[in-house]
Every structure is written in C-alpha cells, then in structure tokens.
Amino acid sequence: MSLDIQNLHVKLGKKEIIHDLSLSMNTNQFVGIIGANGSGKSTLLKTIYKSLTPAKGRIYFDGLDILHTPAKKVSQKLGVVGQFNELSFDFTVFQMVLLGRTPHKKLLESDTKEDFAIVEQALAKMGLTSFKNESFLSLSGGEKQRVILARVLAKQPEFMILDEPTNHLDIRYQLEMMESVKKLGIGVLVALHDLQLAANYCDYLYAMKDGAIVAFGTPENLFTQDLIEDLYGIKCSIYKNPMTDKIAFHYYL
Amino acid sequence: MFSSKKWIQKSYYQIALTFFLVIFFVFSIVFSLGSGQAEISLIDVFQILLYKFSGGVLGNIADIEQAVVNIIWFVRTPRVLMSIFVGLGLATSGAIMQAVVQNPLADPYILGISSGASLGATFAIMIGFGSASIFSQLNLSLSAFIGALLATFCVLFLSNIGGRMTSTKLVLSGTIINSIFSSFSSLIIYLADDAEGIKSVTFWSMGSLASASWSKLPLLIVVTLVISVFFASQFRILNTMLLGDEAAVTLGISLGKYRRIYMIIASLLTGLIVANSGMIGFVGLIIPHIVRGIYGSDHKKLVPMCGFIGAFF
C-alpha cells in the first residue's frame, strides 16, 4: 500500500501553508514527519484526513482518491489521533471507544455484540479495561490519549495518522504511546517534535520547512547537524549513544 | 455482553429508575387533572377520561356534574397534554442545541428564537390585532412563530459569513440577534404608549399554558412527536457532534451540513412551542443536564429520556 500526494497546495485564510508538496511513501512502515512549529506538519496531516480542503493537488491512499471520496469511507481506512481531545460533555471511556465504530455503521444500525467485542479488545490492548466505566474527563492526559488511541483501534484502520501524539505526556507515557503504536503492526504516519523518539521509532522520516519537504530518508541518513540547524535554528551534535548504540542528540544555541 | 459488574448494576439502576419515572408520570398526570381551584376526586377524573376517550362506551359520568366534566375535559386535559408536549419539545431541542453548539450553556432559545418570538408577539399585540378574539389569538401565535424563524435565519446568515460555520460563531451571532431583536421589542413597547398592551406583552413573555385548547393540540403533538423521533434516530451523528468538528471528520462525519439541518429543525420546534405557550425558561437548559447526569451523554438514551423527563414539567 502507498500514500501518494501530488502537487499539494493548502491555504489557511490567505496564507499558503503548504506550497507544491509531493511525496510518495510506502505505508507499511513507521513514517515520521519532523519540522519546527508552523512548518506545516499538522496542516499536511489534516489535509490527508480531510479536515482541511486543499486549494490544489491530489491525494491517493492505496489507489483511493481521498479528496473525492466521502469522509465516511476514508475514515474506515484511516485512523487519526489528533491534538483535539477537549470535550465539553462527558462520556464514559467505553462509550468514547465505541464511537470509533461509527464509520462502520449505518445511521440507524445499533451496536452489535461484535462491536462490543471489538471495543473490549481495543480497551484491553491499551490496558484500559479497568477504566471502562470511568468518565473520560476525569482521566489524566496520558490516559485520555490512550482512550483516543483505543478509539482509533476500534475502527480497525488500515493506516494511522498521529499528530504529535506524545504532547503533554510524561516520559513514561511517551514511550508507552510509541511502543503501543509500533506494536500494532500497521502503517503509521506521525508528526513528532522529539527527535530522539523519531530516531528511535521511525523507519523513514520526512523533514518539513515552510510548507515544503526539505529532506527525507532513514533516520541514520537524514539527521545531520546542518539539517537540524536549518530546521530549528539551533546547533546540535549528533552521536551514537554508547549505551544504546542508537543516534543521540545534544542541542545548544 | 458486559463483563464488568459495575456496568450491569448501573444499567439495572437505570431501568429501575425509568420504571419508577413511568409510574410517577402517570400519577402526576392524574393528580394535575384533579387538583386546582375546583378539587375533583381522582375517581371522577378517571371516569371522565375513560368516558371521553372511549367515546361513551366505558365509564360512567351520569352522577358527575356537567361543570366538572367540562373543567376536566375542556380546560385541564388540554393544558396537561400541552404541558407534556411543550416539555418534551423544549427538552429535546435543548439537548440538540447543546450538541450543535457544543456548549453546555446552550438552550433552545440560544439562537435568538426567544427574542424573535417576543418581537413577533409584541408586534402583534401592539400594532393591530391586540383584541381578544380567537382570530387575534391565532395571529399572536403566528407572528411569534414568524419572529422566531426570522431570528433563526438571521443567526444562520450571520454565522455563515466568512467561511465555515463554527459553534463559536453560532453562539456569538445568536447573542447579537438576541439583543437586536429585544431592543426592537423595547422600542415598540416604548413608542406604543398603551398600558393594556404592555401588560399583555409582559404576560405573554412570562409563558403560560392557560391558552391551551383542543384545537391547538393536534399540530403541536404531531410536530413534536415527529421531530423528537427524528432526533432520536440521529443519535450517532449527535454523539460525534459532541466531540467537535475535527474528531467528527476523523469518524467520517462532516458536521457543517448536519449542524445546519438540526438547527433549523430544532428552531422550528421551539418556534412552534413558543408560539403556543410563550417563553418557558429553564426546561430546555436543565433537563438535558439532569438526564446526562443519570444516563450519560450517549444520545441514544439521552434524546428519548430528555423528551420523557421534559414531559413531566
């Protein structure tokens, strides 16, 4: 399976956020997008999952023309974990995850035993079974994020998009979040701020700056001091951590 | 199906509560029919209802005074029925409005419906058809209804300016329209210089079921029921609506279209109710919250139960 984006232009108001972006990626792997705040990462992801409509361009997922397919059909295939988890009304965790079944349902169809089983599985996978009847709003940030991930799992997507999923999470939850996503074994496209996480978990990386892709490659090939200075405007030394044998970063101004 | 014991207990509790509510509901209907300025015994009430509904086949009203029969049948029964359906409609559209604007403070009047209806009513009372004939009664309702619709469309128009309709824009434009329309009402009242008219405007805006009659009921009942059933069937979309635009898109539902449809339908319902009974506050705001407290936010239960509990009031 693959995700192909051709000559994408996205405008927010009058400002062009993404300018003539094209990429073609294999969606059976863990792909990361890095870049500074305002570089267009979220905008790109939002356009892919149809929350924003681009001015020009085409997006194909597995041959499916996403921009001209109803949201319901797209959402059966794409799972999204975004940054929008605030609610004014409360749901229980179970109901919240059950909402993940929505795209597979007709308007008047009621939830079947199968749906409940899928939800139970998703909860178990995220270690949330004991939280099932808690209210969503009473949970901590990390737990909320896991509920959202469980909701995406309940959808049984073929491909997952995550927009800075580790925001507001402490170190343990950051690692747990990445581990559980990695373990799912489906393709993932994730926007990340933490370069260390990106280097550790991603198979392939795209670097964005000013609405365009400036570099791509495997973490080993992509990360250079010049690139990081170009993206974030900081100095950085990149070295192999002698303890873990993985890429490590040391930043300074 | 549900392995957790807590869940099972909770749903037993809900069933028991629902059962209790049904009994209480029936009892409160009979009680409110019997009590009032003229106390009428429950047995008589029962006999009269039985007689009237079965077309004279059942029940025995021979030894009950004709005046009592009239009070029950022509005054109190319509009022009770009206209050049931007004409550049902207000609570339902309150729940819908709260979902549509994603704001727990929303009520059926949020889109300026109340001030629109007031303006319509003020207009009707002050300018022209202020007399007490039946014709003017109808006109009062009609112009209140038109005012409500006018306000709703103004709000829709305002919130569509500058691209996508968001819930913030909806609330803001509702507030704006509200103040504009109520200042127009004030202007009319100020210029009118008509003490009797001012009194009736005030009376109207307090809300009352006193004007209930059999002739008004069928329209109200049919519309309220049809709209409530419609909303109860939309529980999936309403649920995702609570999550906000972004999350709803990722669940395959783009809200813009549904928001507009729901709002127009809920406004129709509210407009009709306001036209019939004036402004009755708090039911539309509070009932959905009470029901959420008991049954949770799932609209599958929320909408029917809102309607039901709303019907109490």
- On the question of pLDDT at B313 being above 60, the answer is no
Domain boundaries, chain A: 2-222, 228-253
Q: Which of A246-250, B160-164, B219-223 has the lowest mean pLDDT?
A: B160-164
Q: Which CATH number fits domain A2-222: 1.10.10.10, 3.40.50.720, 3.40.50.300, 3.90.1150.10?
A: 3.40.50.300
The residue ranking higher by pLDDT, B93 or B64, is B93
Q: What is the mean pLDDT of chain A?
A: 84
- Positive/negative CA dihedral, A160, A162, A168, A172: positive
The model's confidence at residue B2, banded by pLDDT at 50, 70 and 90, is very low
Phi and psi (nearest 5°) for A17?
Answer: -85, -45
**Strand ranges (DSSP E) for chain A?**
2-12, 15-26, 30-34, 56-61, 64-65, 78-81, 159-163, 187-191, 204-209, 212-217, 235-240, 247-252
Measured CA to CA, the distance from residue B215 to residue B201 in angstroms comes to 23
Q: Which residue carries 């178990």 as its tokens? A: A124
Enter the DSSP assignment of A8.
E
The residue ranking higher by pLDDT, B294 or B264, is B264
Per DSSP, helices labelled H in chain B are 5-34, 42-53, 66-70, 77-100, 113-126, 134-160, 167-192, 195-206, 217-232, 235-243, 245-250, 255-277, 283-295, 299-312
- On the question of pLDDT at B151 being above 80, the answer is yes
The model's confidence at residue B3, banded by pLDDT at 50, 70 and 90, is very low
Q: Are A181 and A25 in contact (CB under 8 A)?
A: no
Average pLDDT of span A186-208: 89
Task: Determine the pLDDT at residue B295.
Answer: 63
Task: Determine the pLDDT at residue A16.
Answer: 83
The model's confidence at residue B130, banded by pLDDT at 50, 70 and 90, is very low
A10 beta partners: A18
pLDDT tens per residue, range B152-200: 888 888 877 766 667 778 888 888 888 888 888 888 878 776 677 777 7
Q: Is B63 exposed, middle or buried (0-12, 13-18, 19+ CB in 10 A)?
A: exposed
Name which of A85, A87, A144 is nearest B292 in CA terms. A87
Phi and psi (nearest 5°) for A233?
Answer: 70, 30
Q: How far is A158 from chain B (nearest CA, A)?
A: 14
Interface of A with B (CB under 8 A): 46, 49-51, 70-76, 78-80, 82, 84, 86-92, 94-95, 99-100, 102-103, 105, 107-108, 110, 113, 116, 120, 132-133, 155
Query: Which residues in chain B are closer than 8 Å to A121, comparing Cβ atoms?
Result: none
**Distance separating the N- and C-terminal Cα atoms of chain A:** 41
The answer regarding whether domain B79-312 maps to CATH 3.40.640.10 reads no
Q: Which residue carries 């008047």 as its tokens? A: A108
Contacts with A, B 5-24, CB within 8 Å:
6-7, 10
- On the question of pLDDT at B299 being above 60, the answer is no
pLDDT tens per residue, range B17-33: 777 777 777 777 777 66
Average pLDDT of span A9-24: 84
Task: Determine the pLDDT at residue B8.
Answer: 43
